[in-house]
Structure 1
Amino acid sequence: MLNYLTYRYNYDRKFQGAKYDEKDNPTNKAAELRQKFEGQKQEDVIDGLFENWKLDNPTLINDNIVKRFKQIIYMLLNYTYSKYAINKGYNDDVKLLSPYYFELISSPNPKENRYWEFEHCKVKLNSSYFNFSGWIGPPPEPINYWKEVEESDKSFIIDSKYYIVVARNSLNSDWKIFKLKNNGEKGSGLKTDWCERPVGWIFTSNGIYLATGNLLDTSMEYVWGKNKKYESYIKSVYRWDAIDEPNTPFISPKTEQITDWNLKQQLNVNNNKDNKIKVSFKNKDISENPIYQLEANYFNWLSITNEL
């Protein structure tokens, strides 16, 4: 999809940044792309991207994602040339013939010498006939409730919250990440990935501690925050300050840095409990026309093109 958008955007700007050497060979991306269009119809070149993908993925041709892709092309015809679009994308008839269409929000990024490239495809649902309410557009950024626990908080209380621990079992081992729940049970959070040094809670008369080592006794050798030895085996601790169970983040095994928090998407935004798009008519005179009886799930509407 991003290549579809990139190709048309540069085509419409006549590849202004194209450069060639003394033998008329292309020397940059704009010139290389322009060469692909020479002697060809623009929709054939752009749809060639999809045709090549189908050759590389023959087992997916009948998959639902192919139907979805064609529908997206149809609804984005103002931004690409394609045989899957009304009049191949040469005008904006989709605004009249389709109950709704996509308006592109993303902008291309300038690359080398007036060559433009799309890196994202964010769209807005629009229509000449309907008003939409509810959540329309990309989902909101999920909230990160992971809070790093400081060394000064080395003694824990039973809080029934989830924790993650970045730890390892020897100085030469890769770092791993463990998700534990502090629910007050004996051996709560015990992880046996490393039989010789698991990660979990130690319950003592002085408090609850997080440690690696033998969790069946009160050994304090590798207790987090207790002495300097632990630093080689427990790198960091985070607490999840929310009620639901979180996903486990991902880390770099060599650097112990968290690379992806793996957060869950928020649901039920804007108090729209069923997460559906609600539709009302801009012009009630067309409300009796069956083609415009829409469901909120707009992808269920089948394009009127022959290809679909």
Structure 2
Amino acid sequence: MKLQQKHQSQQTAKQIRIKRSVETGINETDFINTMFLRSTFFENWSETNYFINPTLKTTQSLTYNDKWYLDFLKDSYSTGISFDKPSDKFMDLYKNWDSYVKQYNINKFYDVDRKQFLRELINFAYSFTNKYNLTQMLNKLKTNINNLQSVNLIEDNWKLVNDYNSFVFNIDNKFYFFVFQPFNSKQWKILKFKHDTNNAKEIDGIPFIPSDIKVYVEMSKLKGLYYWDRVGEPQKPTINPNTGEIINWSVENQNKVKDFLNNYLDVIIQENIRVQQGGNLDYDDPNLGSQRIIFDFEIVDNMEKSVKGNILTKKSIYRMILTIDKDNSK
């Protein structure tokens, strides 16, 4: 009976500690003094600047006593425990990106660099929603992500030429394409070429000289002439041969990208929050999924503005995150 009462008393004390820690934050002096007892256990530890690097990592294997100490920190001081791991949905997106690109025709609008996968996804989502006035999605990005950066979509890199005389005489070595209707056909064609000479050349089996552009204009058989405002050779867009419309950026393809954003925008935003809180950005790291112990100091009441008015929330003055590498926590 006494053992049971003692156990219940310990459980109650633990619950009180956790409740006090979550509601008010932990006592900074008490916590630091306790941590100093094991300061050599952590990397990047500084007795004078212990908040300079908020994420502390262990690189050595944990002994039995080390694991007990971590359990003690979690039970007595931590205000939360999480695991530094992207959602399954985001990891599926990363691992099978080539399939998603084709499924949603994303490559018609932007070439996402997988070396900077999360940042590239955010830049693309922001630029696409901004260009095509997807207000609800755009506002969600602005609300949840700081330092949004606009990038040129593929469509933006093709610049329309209006001065045909300048084009003919200015040999600039840029890549161009033009949509035209051959004199003996009712179908529209598209030709891509490098503007490196004024002499005659053959493009896709069709004889061409730059001055032909002016003839097509006079005969109302030119839909448009565009140049590529980037380095490297671009892919030639696809057109509807019956109308001459460029279908790469058609409403149908726009809607496919919208479907992608409807399905994955929240996933991308959530992943960005994880990374901003110190999460691992290397999606090929075998230690992805390590345990993170959160310590909040001086939790205070905080008024936040929203569309529904002021909302009372909790805010920590300081936060430190202790990350335990996946391989060292076993």
TM over 0.5: no
Q: Give the structure-2-normalised TM-score.
A: 0.33
Higher RCO (CA-CA < 8 Å; seq separation 6+): 2
Choose between structure 1 and 2: higher helix proportion.
Answer: 2
Structure with bigger gyration radius: 2
